[in-house]
Structure 1
Amino acid sequence: MLNREAAVRILAYLDIADLARCSQVCRNWKMLTQSSMLWAKLDLHRTNKVLSDRLAMRFIQRARPFLQHLNLRQCSRIGRLTFLGISSCKNLQDLNLSECPSVDDESIKIITGGCLILLYLNLSHTSVTNHSFRHLARHCHFLQFLSVAYSRQFSDRAFGYLANGRGCRKLTHLDISGCTQLTPVGFDAIADAFRDLEILVMDDINNLSDKHMHNLCKRMTHLKQISMWSSARRLSGYAFRQMTSLTKLTTVKFDSNKLITDEHLRLICRSCSEICHLSIPDCISVTDMCMKHIGTLKHLRVLNVADCLLISDTGIKFLTEGACQY
């Protein structure tokens, strides 16, 4: 017979549906399924097709005293009852509402009014507008991770609310991928609001320009990771020269830029010597000489230069002769 701790650890591998079935086996199993360890993390994404608003509320109310992590991704049938249930979870730290069509300004108002210690909030692919950012600025003082990727109902003014409010000052990770509605004014507000940001993801912003990048690079000097997949096509040498002010960078990802040259990479490698991950595929203007500059990066562990057609075996030799071979 397994001891209680071992049995609970085994049950922790089950999803919510299987856990409910186990609770019906016998009295002992029901007691095991009521362990606080099993209700600290609630993943309802796997049941998103059958999960109703009332059923979600019942699960959340059951887990309420212990709940710290809640995943409702793609749960299309949840509504006001669920959001009221979430707001009563005072210990909730991690909330994923990605791709929930019912998430709007009113639901964010309800949730943020009750969940005051949120650290992680995923609002990607939702209908939040500027008003939701007002609620974040008012209540989310401890938020560290925020994703509004592919949410296109808010404007530049949204980040102005965060810059002027008291909330989100501890943010270290921001994902604005696909938010093509943001102009350089919005990027200026981001730079003002999150001076201590460490990770910035802005993939699939096909209108990203040098103006967008100017104040980001000038003010966000604590950035360690920057991702611009399918966003860097319009950036010129000016933007890459501005990136040299981001001296704490460890991860740089972008692709398909025709204007970055060996000289730009030399400046980046010289200023950002802590880079350990560099991905620059399909940058057709870089040559073997850039590999000599990349070879000076002592901490480099990941390098992606796929489809950089002017890099040959000579460039690989330059790389292996550099400091990064250690």
Structure 2
Amino acid sequence: MERSALCLWDLLPIQIFSFLDVVTLCRCAQVSRAWNVLALDGSNWQRIDLFDFQRDIEGRVVENISKRCGGFLRKLSLRGCLGVGDSALSTCSSLSKFCPKLKHLDLASCTSITNLSLKALSEGCPLLEQLNISWCDQVTKDGIQALLEDEALKHIGAHCPELLTLNLQTCSQITDEGLLTICRGCPRLQSLCVSGCANITDANLNALGQNCPRLRILEVARCSQLTDLGFTSLARNCHELEKMDLEECVQITDSTLIQLSIYCPRLQVLSLSHCELITDDGIRHVGSGPCAHDRLEVIELDNCPLITDASLEHLKSCHSLERIELYDCQQITRAGIKRLRTMIRSRSVENFFQRSNSEIRLPGDLITAPPPPPSPPPAPSPASSPNTALTSKPPTQLRPLRTHCFQEHVFRKPTHCQLCNHMIVGNSKQGLRCKACKLGAHLWCSSELSQQQCNGKANERDEGGEDGEESLRSGEEEMGSQEREIEGAIHLASADDTMAQSIATNSKPRNNRQASLQERTR
């Protein structure tokens, strides 16, 4: 009985430490030797997200983490960590060697990652389920093949047969050859993003339909070689599709929408922006399909010049519809918008409709009482003022405040949000940009920025002013101190004769607003 109680007492501190975040664990690790052992116990490091330290994290820090707690590590996010690359690495080699149970790895925007990194991962991470290498534009089909096989394509099933999610957004060198191996070797694939991979063709859609019947999410924005034939094959075999991003698939017509309306009853999100061959007839089939009544929540029709108010009438049967995007649809009228809003009560219809300057309103806190009327001037004598009309000036009128007009944008280069200063990553639906001043923001940050004054192109010139530089420097100093805590804690684990001094005071506490924004970013 006493031995059992003693064991429970030994496990209690480890259980307490398991509730601490990365920064707190690193601070505790530098208090004493005993706390160092508890804080750096591998069971506390199963899920690690280093996005908050993206400016300062280098490959050697990740290597030390993998050596210390690799047997426990299940999920690792290195999003935006530009210091992690093949030049600093052995990083992926260390992950491959010491982290055999790794299941989720996020390398988004690690622009130095190349085929060598993926080849290293392929040698020792057989349980890998989710891999995000979006914005890693140095990765080619050879790197993908190396990840999925050791020596030859015939062994592909033995390497990553459990792969569920793969994000290859903007990996522009990916071709059919690399993706076909994924389709054939990963039958459980549920989510695939190849937006911006302009070299892929209908062959991949056919392979997905034949080999991946559980596919739920497909993002193929800006894949201009895809046609109705490929989507027909896909729709007839993948009946569980819930989200499809077909933005700028310029060759598709109403035929694709007909097939989706018949064979994909679970469709919830459909993006058809810049699909200029889509007409009212295609929207009619979507509005009358099995997904329309209870499933369809979002439909994006930006820059579809052939659709008219008739399409809005067809969408009235979509009772679950929450958002419609109608940027630059020249044949959509305000009368059609009004009729649709009375049916679906969706604010997003108007928010994404271009408004004229006459409809711009001042925010409530900027509307002030009109100035008192000027006192009437004394009546001039005819001799002194022969023509008052020539000298009088009209009263100055209050001009409407020009606020930001945000629209969804594909950020092709690493961009930071103007409000929270975090990198905008992921697929194109995670970023908005002002049409006038090109200011970038997360979707959840845009509501606050949309009430601020827009300076047009002048904002682009002022963006690098002294205030911005000072804010950037302070942010870098804060991130640098936190990164040094992590690095110091990891290195301390191997020291036997020295005792760390606590450096908790070096890290500035984050305010609640910034912490909330960072939590949303994750």
Report the TM-score when normalising by structure 2. Answer: 0.54
Matches within 5 A, 1:57-72: 57-72=63-78
In the aligned structure 1, how far is the partner of 2:132 from the partner of 2:147? 15
Indicate whether 1:84 and 2:89 are aligned. no
Is 2:334 the partner of 1:312? yes
Unmatched 5+ stretches in structure 2:
1-11, 149-155, 348-522
Q: Which amino acid is 1:236 matched to?
A: T
* Deviation of the 1:57 alpha carbon: 0.8
Once structures 1 and 2 are overlaid, which stretch shifts more, 172-181 or 285-294? 285-294
Q: 1:212 to 1:36 in 2, by over 3 A?
A: same
Mapped contact 1:297–1:324 kept (Cα < 8 A): no
Amino acid in the other structure paired with 2:285:
L
- Match 2:312 to one of 281, 291, 315: 291
* Aligned residue in 2 for 1:232: 249
The alignment-based identity, stated in percent, is 23
Match of 2:105 among 95, 112, 128: 95
How much has 1:145 moved relative to structure 2? 0.7
Amino acid at match of 1:100: C
What secondary structure does 1:141 align onto?
coil
Q: Is the 8 A contact 1:23 1:29 kept in 2?
A: yes
Aligned counterparts of 1:286 and 1:105: Cα–Cα separation in 2: 44
Question: 2:126 aligned with 1:109, yes or no?
Answer: no
Deviation track 1:133-192 (CA, whole Å, cap 9, x = no partner) reads: 364234112111101111133321123223443xx2211110001100112223333333
Counterpart-to-counterpart distance in 2, 1:313 and 1:212? 37
- Residue by residue over 1:64-118, the C-alpha shift from the partner in whole angstroms, topping out at 9 and shown as x without a partner, is 1221111223444444522222123122111012233453444323323322222
**1:200 positional shift:** 0.5
2:184–2:207 Cα contact (<8 Å) kept? no
2:322: which partner in 1? 301
Secondary structure of the residue aligned to 2:333 is coil
Tell which deviates more after alignment, 60-69 or 127-136.
Answer: 127-136
Distance 2:43 2:217 in 1: 31
1:1-326 residue pairs with structure 2 within 5 A? 8-9=18-19, 11-12=20-21, 14-15=22-23, 19-27=25-33, 29-36=35-42, 38-73=44-79, 74-79=81-86, 80-87=89-96, 88-126=98-136, 127-130=139-142, 132-133=144-145, 135-136=147-148, 137-138=156-157, 139-165=159-185, 168-229=186-247, 231-244=248-261, 245-271=263-289, 272-273=291-292, 274-309=295-330, 310-318=332-340, 320-321=342-343
Contact preservation (8 Å) 2:118, 2:143: no
Aligned residue-pair number = 316
Higher relative contact order (CA 8 A, sep 6+): 2
Residues 76/213 of structure 1: CA separation in 2 closer, same or farther (3 Å cut)? farther
Match of 2:406 in 1: none
Letter matched to residue 36 of structure 2: K
- The one-letter amino acid of 1:124's match is S
Following the alignment from structure 1 to structure 2, what is the Cα–Cα distance between the partners of residues 239 and 277? 17
- Per-residue CA deviation, residues 210-258 of structure 1 (Å, 9 max, x unaligned), is 34434233332221110123x2344322333333232221111121333
Q: Classify 1:150/1:318 alpha carbon distance in 2 versus 1 (closer, same or farther; 3 Å).
A: closer
Give 3-state SS (helix, strand or coil) of 1:278's partner: strand
Letter in 1 for 2:312: M
Are residues 43 and 128 of structure 1, via their aligned partners in 2, closer, same or farther at CA, if it must alter by over 3 Å? Answer: farther
Separation in structure 2 between the aligned mates of residue 317 and residue 101 of structure 1, nearest angstrom: 47
SS of the equivalent of 2:117 reads: helix
Separation in 2 of the partners of 1:324 and 1:96?
35
Q: Are the aligned partners of 2:134 and 2:167 in contact in 1 as well (CA < 8 Å)?
A: yes
Q: 1:324 to 1:42 in 2, by over 3 A?
A: closer
Change (3 A) 1:314 1:105: closer
Distance in 1 between residues matched to 2:302 and 2:184, nearest whole Å = 38
Conserved in 1, the CA contact under 8 Å of 2:84 and 2:91?
no
CA distance in 2, matches of 1:145, 1:106: 21
TM-score if structure 1 supplies the norm length? 0.83
Give 1:40 shift: 1.3
Task: Give the unaligned 5+ runs of structure 1.
Answer: none
Aligned with 1:240: secondary structure? Answer: helix
The root-mean-square deviation of aligned C-alpha atoms, in Å, is 3.0
Compare CA radii of gyration and give the structure with the larger one: 2
CA spacing shift, 1:317–1:163, aligned 2, 3 Å: closer
Q: 1:53 to 1:315 in 2, by over 3 A?
A: closer
